[in-house]
Chains A and B, each alone.
Chain A
Amino acid sequence: EPEVTQTPSHQVTQMGQEVILRCVPISNHLYFYWYRQILGQKVEFLVSFYNNEISEKSEIFDDQFSVERPDGSNFTLKIRSTKLEDSAMYFCASSVWDYNEQFFGPGTRLTVL
């Protein structure tokens, strides 16, 4: 069964460093998402992406964040200058359409020291 994959599973970085989280969505899906979940808290929407552009973003998704689909396969989330409060589990998801089941990846745990 097709699945969303994410790498790395765990990323440790120093505050102020740039990180890139990678996702490979399911191949025939057209909508892509990034979410984060701080430990013990709810899942928070970051951004949705369709047709090679951002369709929606939350107030969490500030200028430090960017997304890219560089090669038609990968979908990346970049945090330019990480802060301690960026430590969280980051989930990528994809769906065929916008009113459709979102398939989540296993997540990348980001730890900012």
Chain B
Amino acid sequence: GESVGLHLPTLSVQEGDNSIINCAYSNSASDYFIWYKQESGKGPQFIIDIRSNMDKRQGQRVTVLLNKTVKHLSLQIAATQPGDSAVYFCAERKAGNQFYFGTGTSLTVIP
């Protein structure tokens, strides 16, 4: 079946290092992708999005890369801080207005 999945369930990085979180998607017709951060006990928080007509988008300390050839999405966090520790989800927008989330990667930042 179609799915959005994450390569690594957990990731630990040293404070100040860059983090890369990966996501594979299977629906080549998906046209919009979002990265969310979820802290314990809270709802998902938008980080950055990208449309399928782009391959890179930058925000404040974050960059999303989209490789449609291999259906791969990544989130890069520069100079990772302890406050970045959370679970990160990618989500894809399928036909119509349906959003499907991956299983999440737990990022731990080591001070």
Contacts and interface: CB of A to CB of B under 8 A. Distances in A.
A35 B4 CA distance: 16
Contacts, number: 60
Contact of B97 (A43, A56, A105): A56
B42 A56 contact: no
Nearest to B32: A99
Number of chain A interface residues as a range: 20 to 34
Given A43-B89, A99-B51, A48 B97 contact: yes
Contact of B46 (A91, A101, A105): A101
Contact of B101 (A43, A48, A56): A43
A50 B97 contact: yes
A104 B44 contact: yes
Contacts of B98: 45, 48, 56, 58
B32 A42 contact: no
A31 B97 contact: yes
A4 B38 CA distance: 16
Interface of B: 32, 34, 36, 38, 42-46, 49, 51, 89, 91, 93, 96-104
